[in-house]
Structure 1
Amino acid sequence: MSTAWLVTGARGQLGHDLLEVLARRPDDDVTALGRAELDLTNEAAVRKTVRHWLDEVRADRAVLLNAAAYTAVDDAETDEATAQLVNGAAPGWLAQEMAGAGRLVHVSTDYVFDGTATEPYPVDAPTAPRSAYGRTKAAGERAVAAAGGDATTVRTAWVYGHHGGNFVATMMRLEADRPTVSVVTDQVGSPTWSLDLAAGLVALGARAESAPPVLHLTNTGAASWWDLARAVFEERGADPERVLPTSTDAFPRPAPRPAYSVLDTTAWTAAGLPAPRPWRAALAEALRSW
């Protein structure tokens, strides 16, 4: 069965890796749209673009992977209106256009939770965002759910990859440039390689059966940012003792960061999707191929 794919946010970190995974499916048709090709603040343009794509689909099925987002977490505190259009309203427009015409896989975030948990968040945990970014992403989840159709929201967290700025890339640069680096120990999550995330999202999009409306996908296990930084140093053959512990209070930011971001992935595997691997194994492969 052939599939036509539309990838939004195709020039971003996750979008790059989605295109890499989809390139392994030579019988499928892939349309990639970045910010230059699709303005997610323009409702008429979004709807027209999706309708035109659906009209042109000649495959057996159509899948839209929405990897586009307003991800400038701190900027969103003073630009919530724009973040709300991109993160909150646009996913609903996409879902409405796809309802009855194909499948939507929409990517969301751990920031929809308040970060006060002490054990992994299940998919049905109450959302309680503490930042503008989190509020707008939660609004997007609600918009997708309200549209109905074959749509799944996939929450993820702590994503890093070969493209764009991210924590792992920053630690690699600082390892080369500085004798020591201070990293917070009081924020805990599941570091997630964007290529593993992309492979999982494509598997979800390609499956014949519909999926639950909300799923979580990260690499497994938990680490603090300090743990992750030390692991990066170790994988590069550097002394992890050069990574010094500090607290969130030492790095005040406009948007509050969740103290605990570990997501429970059991619903993902229960749905028959490929089990995610441990974060440290993914990091090792990511750094080997960087």
Structure 2
Amino acid sequence: MNRVITPSQRKLDKQQSNRARMLISCPDQPGIVAAVSRFLHEHGANIVQSDQYTMDPSGGMFFIRIEFDLNEIERRLEPLELDFQEVVADKFQMEWSIHRAAVKKKLAVFVSKEDHCLLELLWQWQAGDLDADIEMVVSNHPDMKELVESFEIPYHHIPVTKETKAEAEQKQLEVIGDKVDAIVLARYMQILSPKFVEHYPNRVINIHHSFLPAFIGGKPYAQAHNRGVKIIGATAHYVTEELDGGPIIEQDVQRVSHRDNVEDLKRIGRHIERVVLARAVAWHVEDRILVHNNKTVVFN
């Protein structure tokens, strides 16, 4: 089953052929926006969108996301990047990156036995609403093989046990290789080792089925039910060495009551999880997220 490319998607792809996205974080000081805007103008670029945020205006950090068009971008982008480092970035102590909008990020999706988050990503990808390419699905169970292959996406079944975890992760790294830009844990019910995570800093996105920082770890819906909560939620975050403690990208909640048992909470939660994860993945592949320490700035 091939991805459907709609007329509106073709028009968007054409518009983005010469478009790039610039992400900048640096210590806040006067003149940053003027310097960046002047530089892009002098290099023939046209700014089409700009969003900025200052964290603690009294001397904190400055963040900005800029979309710009540059004719003949294949030829002109590399010289622009070299000049930007020398003329602007060094002066303002910037951490920065530029990403071409037409170059889609490649994803590997990890999944276990529950299919709702995976299906949401596959549906959005098929409809052209997820601006990325799903290169493969990796699972510690064989259950999703037929489903995934119906979308003509490779499926890799790599079993994981406590005794074989290190070996399994090595196989996963070999399968992924340099084929993907990011990994999405779509209810992958295994804890990744720090050694694995260090290969993809701020490029592994997890969906946790609770409103973090409440109810970290396993069985959060049972934990929530035992506490008699009135709101349940889901959290998409980048994976770090700290369990469920990485920078939060997106969250959402829904009200529940004493009448809802654990199975009710799981059913309600599945909808929240799929929506929250899909949003987080979309923002990541569209270069809308800047990470500073253990927080995110999301230009959505």
Global fold match (TM > 0.5): no
Larger Rg: 2
Of structures 1 and 2, the one scoring higher in RCO (CA 8 A, sep 6+) is 1
TM-score (norm 2): 0.39
> Which structure shows the bigger proportion of residues in strand conformation?
2
